[in-house]
Amino acid sequence: MPEAAISEVVARALAEDVGEGDLTTAATVPEQARARALITQKAPGVVFGFDLADETFRALDPEVAVERLVEEGRWRSDGGPVMGIEGSARAILTGERTALNFLQRLSGVSTMAARCVQAVAGTGAVILDTRKTTPGLRALEKAAVAAGGATNHRAGLYDAILIKENHAALAGGVGEAVRKARAYGVEVPLEVECRTLEEVDEALAAGAPWILLDNMSVAQMREAVSHVGGRARLEASGGVTLDTLGEIARTGVDFISVGALTHSAPALDVSLLLEPPA
């Protein structure tokens, strides 16, 4: 994300948490006190979100020193320290929760993405994210998906055409919806959702280059892969979990979209503790 966008997101988060002032810190911590703290990863996973944590502390103390102790986007099984912060003690304590919220949320998304990619390793299937993101944080969450090794699908409604069941119903059917979309004249990816092999045939006859197999069983997906025979790219979607990913990938689909990457990723456990004075 551009620096200006990161600053805006952080400013909103701090305004939400700090409001007119951090009463606890103001009441208990001397204004001139300085401190050093460590942020520690406490569970296996992929850390992501340093830019947000960094900006959080800098917004409160422009002179703060922030040290990144590990590289983002790498799986770490053992956890351990990931970031050091040194500066105003008040700024560190006031920014602690906001910085950790960004890190735990985005690292959780990256970790979920990495686990999904690991689950389909060797099959050739590509893990895609969806638009099931936190409102206002989509760019951040999609960046976290990419950091975890999965692939971003469309960013929004403006950069691809994805015909869903309701679109098809209003357009007069799957085939007619595809024909209308192709005639619309925009050069963007075009995909259509199909629930049955009959709809798959309609989509193929209309020239659909990308077909989403919606909530099909593994057996139905395998049949669809054989039936399509490479005439269109195939994406599996609906009810996908870590436990079912491997079996779905082995049907031969090209893509698997996983809404849980962003709507249900558990937060990665991270904490901030002050270091004892030297």
Provide the token pair at 238: 């609906």
- The residues, ordered by sequence, that sit 6+ positions from 257 with a Cβ below 8 Å of its Cβ are 127, 128, 129, 130, 153, 212, 235, 236, 237, 240
Count CB-CB contacts under 10 A for residue 80. Answer: 11
C-beta separation of 50 from 68 below 8 A: yes
Minimal CA–CA distance to 96: which of 31, 41, 34, 25? 25
73: region left, alpha or beta (phi > 0 left; psi from -120 to 50 alpha)? left
Provide the token pair at 53: 């944590």
Residue 162: what are its φ and ψ, rounded to 5°? Answer: -125, 105
Residue-wise burial string across 195-223, b where 16 or more C-beta atoms lie within 10 A, e elsewhere: beeebbebbbebebebbbbbebeeebbbe
Provide the token pair at 5: 């966008």
Residues classed as catalytic: 97, 132, 164, 193, 214
Provide the token pair at 42: 């406490």
Distance, CA of 159 to CA of 139 (rounded, Å): 14
